[in-house]
Amino acid sequence: MTTSPLDSYRQKASFNWSELKNIVEGEESVQIKVGTLEKEPLFARNYDRLSREELRELNHRRWKKILELKLPSYHCLLEVLEMYDQGLSARLSLHNTVFITAIFSMGSERHQEILERIVGCFSLTELSHGSNTQGIQTVATFDNGEFVFNCPNDGAIKCWTGNLAESATHAVVFAQLIVAGKCEGVHAFVLQVRDTRTFEPLPGITIGDMGEKPGAWNGVENGWMEFKNHRAPLWTLLNKGCEVTSDGNYISSYKSVSEKQSVSLGALSVGRVGIIGKGVTACGLASTIAIRYSACRRQFGPRKGEEIPVIDYPLQQHRLLPYLAAYFAIRLFHKRLWEFLTEYLMRVMQGDKSTELAEFSKEIHALSSSAKPVSTWLGVEALSEARRACGGHGYLYCSRLNELRDSFDSSQTFEGENDMILQQTSNVLLAKVHRAHTLSIAYAELTIISWSRSFVQNVEQLEIREVRRIFSVDRLASFTIFRGYCTGEHFGEGIRSNIRQLEAELAPAAISLVDAVAPPDFVLNSALGASDGSPYEHMMREFRKHTNPRPNWWKDLRDVLEQSSTRQSKL
């Protein structure tokens, strides 16, 4: 039996990686990853390239199977799907998380009745407005006991709405509410947009597809929607705190604009908090693939001696290990932030309209608006660095690194473009935009460091001491220091030296730490990052599918060469 190159590294760790995995992820999550989906033939993996239509049909079939399986933990399932396929994950989460949360947090019991047997989507962004939600131009005008929806110009057409292009039957639509000639501001409505029997758009609604996109997001039906005198009943207004009567009176129970905004801020924060998790996932997948491959790949060494595993070189450690550390730190921060958001949403659904809750919503909004850029920037950086760190083989489709990089790239712009939403954390400093930008990042990173340190103290009781090094304040603070927050002629030298030392000490345990991060191989789907440590065998298995290929145009090539040969002989 051949020994895996990874086994020698696994033996160096002083902790049980499976125990750490259960602590970080939860036993239930681990069991779902290892279990149900892997047994379903429909979820089998390969490296075949599918057209947009084929990918969407496959996602539909997989989505249908997931509904049939009735898995016990939606949150754990979504985490698996984030690593498995971003398109399938979006298909599920856009309805189950974003759409339904909007209904429960902004609507009332009358809206919850429609949630059976529909596919929902969340339609806020317009062609000319995204992050500036107060500037959207779609209008809902009260008229004879109904709302009339219109897009006054092309810029007001709804776009980037996931699930809309082909599947969604209902949409949470944001529009400027106009009653008796007065604009009451942006409000949310739940509209039926398609006939549930024919799947044709309803009168006054035009729906289309936004076309090709990179990566797994071709499996997501991002659509556009135009309203032209579409009429909808009054009950479609999501009415937590406001109402429009049949005789055209606008009634609001909110005491202030900030109280009113706190409800919508919570709904918007759901998407941003979710996307923080995408950065975590990207760091984990990048670290898994690149570190495992680097432990198998040997290059150079002493004369007449064995070549050295690439992961043993300080440069490779410095390129990859910070992203592994970031995975653990941001993951634990993300878990706690979800708990705070869940608490907030429960209080909203229970009718809490206190000033304290309004302030709580602002804090969640500020933290999600700053942590989302930090997390997604790190995630995309991790995938790019991992691809380069794996050399030429990292460029192969079967490495999965390029597909992942393309798929996660959009996380930097949807639910708010990163640089722009950082300003929402520091509105007080908007007069000094650069400083506000910097302080917003520092605010997020400091919170990540603080919350992950709390976790380390708990893990210490289980004697998994190596974990402390991952969450070292110096390690995380290095991101802050090198952005220029602290200066001095020799200030950074000690920090850099300490980081190098931490990386060298962490390297022997890196494979076991990655094992605690990694999904099963069928989810990871990388020839370079498989847990058996046999990247060359996996690559050759793919290469041999294309043995001795002869192109369809080989005769034309032969004729060109023969003609060239004839011309040369005449010369």
Q: Which of 32-41, 73-82, 481-490 has the lowest mean pLDDT?
A: 481-490
Q: Is residue 112 part of a domain?
A: no
Q: Any catalytic annotation for residue 40?
A: no
pTM equals: 0.89
Burial class (CB in 10 A: 0-12, 13-18, 19+), 407: buried
Binning pLDDT at 50, 70 and 90, where does residue 384 land? Answer: very high
Total tally of structural domains belonging to the chain: 2
Say if residue 463's pLDDT is above 60.
no
The stretch 127-140 carries a mean pLDDT of 89
The stretch 102-117 carries a mean pLDDT of 88
Q: Is there a single domain that holds both residue 438 and residue 499? A: yes
Percentage of the chain with pLDDT > 70? 85
Q: Is there a single domain that holds both residue 249 and residue 351? A: no
List the one residue out of 147, 154, 140 whose CA is nearest residue 183: 140
Dist. CA 536–CA 358, nearest whole Å:
56
125 is in an annotated binding site: yes
Q: Is residue 316 part of a domain?
A: yes
Higher pLDDT, 497 or 65: 65
Q: Is there a single domain that holds both residue 448 and residue 558? A: yes
Q: Is residue 47 part of a domain?
A: no
DSSP label of 125: -
- Whole-number pLDDT of residue 165: 95
pLDDT digits (tens, 9 = 90+) for 508-537: 889 999 999 999 898 899 999 999 999 999
Domain with residue 181: its CATH number is: 2.40.110.10
Q: Is there a single domain that holds both residue 333 and residue 363? A: yes
The stretch 38-44 carries a mean pLDDT of 88
List the one residue out of 24, 37, 411 whose CA is nearest residue 213: 411
- Whole-number pLDDT of residue 79: 86
Q: Is residue 44 part of a domain?
A: no
Q: Is residue 26 part of a domain?
A: no
Q: Is there a single domain that holds both residue 192 and residue 317? A: no
The stretch 279-286 carries a mean pLDDT of 96
Q: How many DSSP H helices and E strands does the chain contain?
A: 22, 12
Q: Is residue 67 part of a domain?
A: no
Q: Which tokens hold the place of 54?
A: 């084929």
DSSP label of 201: B
Q: Which tokens hold the place of 103?
A: 């209904």
Q: Which of 212, 237, 254 is the last residue of a domain?
A: 254
162 is in an annotated binding site: yes
Domain with residue 545: its CATH number is: 1.20.140.10
pLDDT digits (tens, 9 = 90+) for 327-354: 988 998 999 999 999 898 888 878 787 8
Q: Which of 225, 254, 283 is the last residue of a domain?
A: 254
Q: Is there a single domain that holds both residue 208 and residue 313? A: no
Q: What is the dihedral of CA 6, 34, 457, 285, to 10 degrees?
A: 60
Q: From residue 214, how far is each of 29, 51, 218, 372, 417 by CA, in Å?
A: 29, 12, 7, 21, 18
Q: Is residue 53 part of a domain?
A: no
DSSP label of 237: B
Average pLDDT across the chain, whole number:
85
What residue type is assigned to position 11 of the chain?
A: Q
Helix, strand, or coil (residue 176): strand
Residues in the chain: 571
Q: Is there a single domain that holds both residue 249 and residue 289? A: no
Q: Is there a single domain that holds both residue 508 and residue 430? A: yes
Burial class (CB in 10 A: 0-12, 13-18, 19+), 59: buried
Q: Is residue 39 part of a domain?
A: no
Contact 280, 330 (CB under 8 A): yes
Q: What is the dihedral of CA 470, 475, 479, 480, to 10 degrees?
A: 130
Q: Which of 254, 273, 290 is the last residue of a domain?
A: 254
Q: From residue 400, how far is each of 125, 134, 297, 525, 538 by CA, in Å?
A: 31, 39, 17, 7, 13
DSSP label of 338: H
**Given the residues 226, 259, 403, 415, the one annotated as active site:** 415
Going 218 to 79 to 99 to 264, the CA torsion angle's sign is negative
Q: Is there a single domain that holds both residue 349 and residue 267? A: yes
The stretch 237-252 carries a mean pLDDT of 93
Q: Is there a single domain that holds both residue 368 and residue 268? A: yes
Determine if residue 117 is left, alpha or beta; phi over 0 gives left, psi from -120 to 50 gives alpha, anything else beta: left
- Whole-number pLDDT of residue 74: 76
Say if residue 481's pLDDT is above 70.
no
Q: Is there a single domain that holds both residue 293 and residue 166? A: no
Q: Is there a single domain that holds both residue 231 and residue 125? A: yes
Domain that holds residue 260: 1-13+255-571
